Amino acid sequence: MKGFKIALAQINAIPSNKDLNLQKISKFVTEAAKEKAKIICFPELSTCGYHRNLPINLSENIMGFTSIKLLKMSKDKNIVIIAGMLEKDRNNTYITQVIAFPDGKIEKYRKTHLGKYERKKYSPGQNLPIFKTKDTQYQVETVNFGIGICYDLHFPEVVSSLSIQGAHIIFAPHASPIPIKKRFEIWEKYMGARAYDNRVYLAACNLIGNNGYKKFGGGIGIWDPFGNLVKKYTKENEGILSFDVDFDILDNIRKNKSEHMKTPFFLKDRRTDLYL
């Protein structure tokens, strides 16, 4: 299956200004839909902004104001939307990516690996779920995707777990202040390896600009299952990047259609009897 288009955006998310942030998200959702994208991913905490002392009262239930807005956008434009929010659940607060589907379904991924300062305020997620969608226009096979938020990607087991569960694409939304050139230098140290070892497409995006508290570096990058950086966005402004995912590559690897050692699905040879 070729031609399943994904999109990623980098935006300047202003803390405490959800209305403005959602307006920006709506703009790029519309742009992605015009480009025939089926999924668009926004950065970490893209609906409420990110800084170390973000007020807890910005958090909301998963079916609150933010999700209702995202669901309407998703239905109107027939596109899956992945966006960052601060989630409240009972006495816990999570850094969450909410996933809005055109059919009205809402799902979520809670950041599982929190940074030093995040651990003082937020709770870690306890699951590494897989999400499913399909290209309803052509009634093609199900597309599986997973999410790892920023620091999560420094732990190889996260991507391996998602790939073993059947993920084709891993989205990696970030909120990193590192300048864009340095951001790509760092990403290149491990993002390609995550994609190559686990035979997935890996798609990362970052916040951009000065939000009044912190300056974010931006950057969007997409790595293929061979570990190659196949497309990137390096402009220091808000923007969007789209890419056509080729699932035939994944199918050939995972069904062992290749006789060449250089293209095996490595995870099928894991020695789980040796690992903790």
Q: Is residue 276 part of a domain?
A: no
C-beta separation of 239 from 10 below 8 A:
yes
Q: Is 16 within the bounds of a domain?
A: yes
pLDDT of residue 205: 99
Q: Say if CB 34 and CB 72 are below 8 A apart.
A: no
pTM for the model: 0.94
Q: What is the pLDDT, as a whole number, of residue 54?
A: 86
Answer yes or no: are the C-beta atoms of 98 and 85 closer than 8 Å. Answer: yes
Q: Who contacts 106 (Cβ-Cβ below 8 Å, separation ≥6)?
A: 62, 63, 67, 71, 98, 99, 100
Give the model's pLDDT for residue 94: 98
pLDDT, position 136 = 55
**What is the extent of the structural domain holding 139?**
4-269
Instruction: Please report whether residue 155 resides in a domain.
Output: yes
84 beta partners: 97
DSSP E strand stretches across 47-127: 80-89, 92-100, 106-110
Q: Residue 8, Cα to own-chain centre: how many angstroms?
A: 8
The domain tally of the chain equals: 1
In a domain, 230, yes or no: yes
Give the model's pLDDT for residue 138. 45
pLDDT at residue 195, as a whole number: 97
- Assigned domain for 274 exists: no
Residue 139, pLDDT score: 47
Q: Are 95 and 108 in contact (CB under 8 A)?
A: no
CATH code, domain carrying 84 = 3.60.110.10
Instruction: Note the pLDDT of residue 208.
Output: 98
Per the domain annotation, does 182 fall within a domain? Answer: yes
pLDDT value at position 2?
Answer: 65
Both ends of the chain: CA-CA distance in Å?
36
pLDDT of residue 108: 98
- What is the pLDDT tens value at each position of the chain, 276 positions in all? 567 999 999 999 999 899 999 999 999 999 999 999 999 999 999 999 998 888 888 999 999 999 999 999 999 999 999 999 999 999 999 999 999 999 999 999 999 999 999 999 999 999 999 999 976 554 456 899 999 999 999 999 999 999 999 999 999 999 999 999 999 999 999 999 999 999 999 999 999 999 989 999 999 999 999 999 999 999 999 999 999 999 888 888 877 655 555 668 888 888 888 886
d(Cα 171, Cα 274) in Å, to the nearest integer?
29
Residue 275 lies in a domain: no
Q: What's the DSSP call for residue 138?
A: T
